Amino acid sequence: MKIAVMGGDGFIGWPTSLHLSDAGHEIHILDNLSRRWIDTELGVQSLTPMDSIQERTRIWHAETGRRIHFNLIDLAKDYELLKKWLAEHRPDAIVHFAEQRAAPYSMKSDRHKNYTVNNNVSATHNLLNALVELNLDAHLVHLGTMGVYGYSTVGAAIPEGYLPVGIETADGRTVNQDILYPANPGSIYHMTKCLDQLLFQFYAKNDGLRITDLHQGIVWGTHTEQTRRHEQIINRFDYDGDYGTVLNRFLIQAAIGYPLTVHGTGGQTRAFIHIQDSVRCIELALKNPPPRNARVEIFNQMTETHRVRDLAEMIAKLSGAEIIRLPNPRKEAPENDLIVKNDKFLDLGLAPITLQAGLLSEIVDVARKYAYRVDRSRVPAVSAWTKDLAATINHDP
């Protein structure tokens, strides 16, 4: 297939591009390189040294003989350019990662809230709009988030996107209907993914677009089979308080002798998936498009759930790191249970990589290898969800 990877320079976009290229697909990355600009804005850098996208694709070609094409296009701002590119190339499928993906970054200030909403919603809408305008029947696979469901403590398993409900009619009958699971975002970033869901629902219904939305959990790990092949095509690894996700942060903290920063009691339960499984799921989704005029296909892209404090304890045991409980800068339930259905990917053959001690220690080794690049002052999470919470933040645990 000819596949356009929107946001193909990012943490999941890059390994996905390599994985799909390796599988024989023709890959075109469209990216505005915003993630690199945000590194500059925040004064942080990936733990792993990253080459330019042009250099990365050059090395991939030298290693494998395969070409990955790069196009500097901003989906949110350059609608005409995007439309022109799509009209010329008419890809069979599009993978859409081109959104600002960090919840703490989206909550930093009013400017960051505006940026996240404008960027994410416009990027998604521009893409859908262009597909219709060009009469382009490309399968759109979007990277969504488990966070659209929220983390309430109902105790029932979260279905894959749709909730069956029985609605009582005026004449006393019960009509069964599937509705989108009620959206319950916990940050501005997560809210934009909820808005995406409505855009997808409308365009699937109105224009018959073929859309798959992947509700992904927190990704851990850094390498995939392809990113291991050469030092210069290594994946990025974020550890800072805005972009670092919890498990990867704990791993780097353990490697540099920094106490593991548990927010609150650490009773938050979240869904996780390894980066290698993430790219496999995207390939599985691409191979199984919904028919035209069907409803949006939704998968829960996660393989296991863990409580934050249990992860901290697991890593502390492995590495001898200390654990510190910090005031939580986020407005979130201090404790929650989480049961998630993920049968659809398992039925398609996904064999999950689990958090075994061996794998964790391998990542600790990656963290140790590049520990010299860590700026300890960028480890604390200082972006607060409300002005009141901002006053409680501990900047130097």
Binding region for ligand USQ (CB under 6 A): 101-103, 145-147, 217-218, 245-246, 249, 261-263, 266, 268, 270-271, 308, 328, 330, 332, 381
Task: Report in angstroms how near the CB of residue 31 gets to ligand USQ at its nearest.
Answer: 16
Between the alpha carbon of residue 133 and those of residues 79, 122, 128, 188, 356, the distances in Å are 12, 16, 9, 29, 48
Task: Report in angstroms how near the CB of residue 56 gets to ligand USQ at its nearest.
Answer: 22
- Kindly tell me which of 261 and 276 has the beta carbon lying closer to ligand USQ: 261
Q: What gap in Å lies between CA 306 and CA 314, rounded to an integer?
A: 11
- Chain centroid to CA 273: how far? 10
Q: What gap in Å lies between CA 141 and CA 20, rounded to an integer?
A: 13
For 298, list phi and psi in degrees, rounded to 5.
Answer: -125, 130
Residue among 105, 189, 203, 239 flagged as catalytic? 189
Residue among 83, 108, 113, 193 flagged as catalytic? 193
| 330 and 265 Cβ atoms separated by less than 8 Å | no
Q: What gap in Å lies between CA 276 and CA 222, rounded to an integer?
A: 8
Residue 181 appears among annotated catalytic residues: no
- Kindly tell me which of 298 and 381 has the beta carbon lying closer to ligand USQ: 381
Task: Report in angstroms how near the CB of residue 343 gets to ligand USQ at its nearest.
Answer: 18
Task: Report in angstroms how near the CB of residue 363 gets to ligand USQ at its nearest.
Answer: 15
Q: Mind spelling out the 3-state secondary structure of 283-352?
A: HHHHHCCCCCCCCCEEEEECCEEEEHHHHHHHHHHHHCCCEEEECCCCCCCCECCCCECCHHHHHCCCCC
Residue 57 appears among annotated catalytic residues: no
* Number of helices and strands in the chain (H, E): 13, 14
Task: Report in angstroms how near the CB of residue 177 gets to ligand USQ at its nearest.
Answer: 26
- Kindly tell me which of 59 and 389 has the beta carbon lying closer to ligand USQ: 389
| 28 and 69 Cβ atoms separated by less than 8 Å | yes
In the bound state, the residue with its beta carbon closest to ligand USQ is 147
| 33 and 70 Cβ atoms separated by less than 8 Å | no
Q: Are strands 162-168 and 174-180 parallel, antiparallel or unpaired?
A: antiparallel
Which amino acid makes up residue 64? Answer: T
DSSP single-letter state for residue 147: G
Task: Report in angstroms how near the CB of residue 204 gets to ligand USQ at its nearest.
Answer: 22
Residue 105 appears among annotated catalytic residues: no
- Kindly tell me which of 57 and 319 has the beta carbon lying closer to ligand USQ: 319
Exposed (0-12), middle (13-18) or buried (19+): which is 105, by Cβ within 10 Å?
Answer: buried
Residue among 48, 124, 145, 227 flagged as catalytic? 145
Q: What gap in Å lies between CA 4 and CA 17, rounded to an integer?
A: 9
Task: Report in angstroms how near the CB of residue 250 gets to ligand USQ at its nearest.
Answer: 7
- Give bridge partners of residue 266 from the DSSP assignment: none
3-class SS of residue 369: helix
- Residues designated catalytic: 145, 189, 193
